[in-house]
Amino acid sequence: MASTILAFERAPGQLEQLELDVCERQGHEKSSNVTERAVEVGASITDHVRANQNTLTLEGWISNTPITEGGVTRGRYQRLSSGGASTLQFSTPFDRVRDCDEVLAWMIDAAPLVDVITSLRTYQQMIVRRYKVDRDATTGSVLPLVLELVQPRLVEAQTVTVPEPAERRGRNRANRGAQAGRDANAARPISLGAQAADSNAARTARRVIGGLFR
């Protein structure tokens, strides 16, 4: 399969590439969540569908004899030709497999944004969320690997200046100190007319009661 390249920055302004010698399988996945609730006929169906994050799975391997000159080991090897085949060999002692393994492990810890170029699609700003290596007696010195990448949703924050309101709101009231309150149980003043009416009613009651005992 055509070459697969991961481009990233290990430091600001320091662009690097990591190229797989062979990519045996690519898994490209796009999906969405569709509401399970009833949708009114004629309504916009897109309002009830939410797209999921794009994911990419790569399976391949890296060796110390790459076919192309590129990646994190650029400039450290010389080209050798034998029997019509052309490979690269390091001009100085260097372990490309170990170096690439360190870079991929660093991607898990540091979570840099990675651009991925494959034979089918090109992805921008992805995150490596899984890195797996299975080595046994049959793999030799190569690095067989599985990478899972996900494309996060990125947004931009913007700071704006809030205009001053035409009318100032939320001002604290002036503290006027303790105010004398009115006691609900306090005696209320009675007018003179009410007092006279009460006296007349009392005299009338006494006459009625006195007449009962005559």
For 107-151, how does the pLDDT look when each residue is reduced to its tens digit (9 = 90+)? 999 999 999 999 999 999 999 999 999 999 888 889 999 999 999
pTM above 0.75, yes or no: no
Residue 82: per-residue pLDDT: 43
pLDDT for 172 beyond 50: yes
First to last CA, the chain: 132
Residue 168: per-residue pLDDT: 73
107 contacts 131 by C-beta, under 8 angstroms? yes
Is CATH 3.40.1130 what the domain over 4-33+49-150 is classified as, yes or no?
A: no
Q: Is 71 exposed, middle or buried (0-12, 13-18, 19+ CB in 10 A)?
A: buried
Residue 89: per-residue pLDDT: 52
Give the span between the Cα atoms of 9 and 125, in whole angstroms: 11
Residue 156: per-residue pLDDT: 84
Alpha helices in the chain (DSSP H): 96-110, 192-212
113 contacts 154 by C-beta, under 8 angstroms? no
DSSP letter string, the chain: ---EEEEEEEETTEEEEEEESEEEEEEEE--EEE--S---TTS-GGGGEEEPPPEEEEEEEE-SS-SS--STTTTSEEEEEETTEEEEEESS---HHHHHHHHHHHHHHH---EEEE-SS-EEEEEEEEEEEE---TTTTTSEEEEEEEE----------PPPPPSS--SPPPP-----PPPPTTSPPP--HHHHHHHHHHHHHHHHHHHHHT-
21-25, 130-134, 140-144, 192-196: which has the minimum mean pLDDT? 192-196
Give residue 93's pLDDT band: very low, low, confident or very high (50, 70, 90). low
Give residue 195's pLDDT band: very low, low, confident or very high (50, 70, 90). low
DSSP letter string, 92-104: S---HHHHHHHHH
Domain ranges of the chain: 4-33+49-150
Q: Is 131 exposed, middle or buried (0-12, 13-18, 19+ CB in 10 A)?
A: middle
Query: Hey, is 109 helix, strand or coil?
Result: helix
